[in-house]
Amino acid sequence: MKTDSIFYQLFQTFPRCFFDLLNLPAETVNDYQFSSVEVKQLAFRLDGVFLPNSQDKSIYFVEVQFQKDNKFYSRFFSEIFLYLHQSELNNNWRGVIIYPNRRVENIEVSRYQELLNSERVCRFYLDELATIETVGIKTLKLIISSEKEAIPQGKALIQKVKEEFRDAKQQENILQLIETILVYKLPLVNRQEIEKMFSLSDLRETKVYQEALEEGRLQGELVAKQNLILRQLNLKIGKISPNIQAEVKQLTLTELDNLALALFDFLNVEDLQQWLTSH
């Protein structure tokens, strides 16, 4: 899933979910404008910045980090301080980091411990927000749900949106976000099935939705092909180890097609390992 684009669209269209995360009043959203800001000189780009409309409110720098990255904090703070250096704004600032879980953050943080332990920076782990019931938080949690969980969570969330949001345009925008997330989450389910499953009609033809649909289709094709080739390998050369299975799952669609042709000549697991090493 392209989490960066999903979260960018989410914060741009439904910024209240961000302030729900900070446990701030819903009307706080009226004081901010969400944007992506490019920092000059080093070509840094701050993925999400909530800029206030008055000097007495803080700037919020938000980053969504779904992959382990040992240089994440050095880049995150470098971008913030360079932006503050270049900006004419004199507002105070806060950093907000959103992780799917604590395992992704399992990196060296000692050089940044004082900042991370201060009120200056907030870290949120989506899998630990179980007791928060707002539409914003539920939408964020839908992104990390399993395919099995996404179906009942999506149905409940759609119903909650229809009950709480009476403005037709706002309701439509939020439902469109949910549709897009579900397409990413359920790559093997086609548009008609999603429409029927969630009682949604007239699926939107937005660029983001179409990108989600295409990525979902490709991901579904990739997973199906991986499973087929792994079954063929097990039949041809016997059960292969989890490590080799992981290597096979790293292959592209084109590489999987090439492996599907090559495996007919394999006599043992050594042939497979040699092929993986050469490709």
Model confidence pLDDT, tens digit, residues 112-150? 999 999 999 999 999 998 767 789 999 999 888 887 888
Q: How confident is the model at residue 18, as a pLDDT?
A: 92
pLDDT at 206 over 50: no
Averaged pLDDT, 74-100: 92
User: Distance between CA 264 and CA 45 in Å, rounded?
Assistant: 48
Distance of CA 191 to the CA centre of its chain: 21
| pLDDT band per the 50, 70, 90 thresholds, residue 202 | very low
Give per-residue pLDDT as tens, 156-191: 888 898 888 888 888 888 887 887 788 777 765 555
Residue ranges, comma separated, of all CATH 3.40.1350 domains in the chain are 1-140
Averaged pLDDT, 27-54: 79
User: Distance between CA 279 and CA 276 in Å, rounded?
Assistant: 5
Can you tell me which residue has the tokens 């959103």? 98
Q: Are 141 and 113 in contact (CB under 8 A)?
A: no
Q: How confident is the model at residue 117, as a pLDDT?
A: 92
| The CATH number fitting domain 1-140, selected from 3.40.1350, 1.20.1340, 3.40.50, 3.30.110 | 3.40.1350
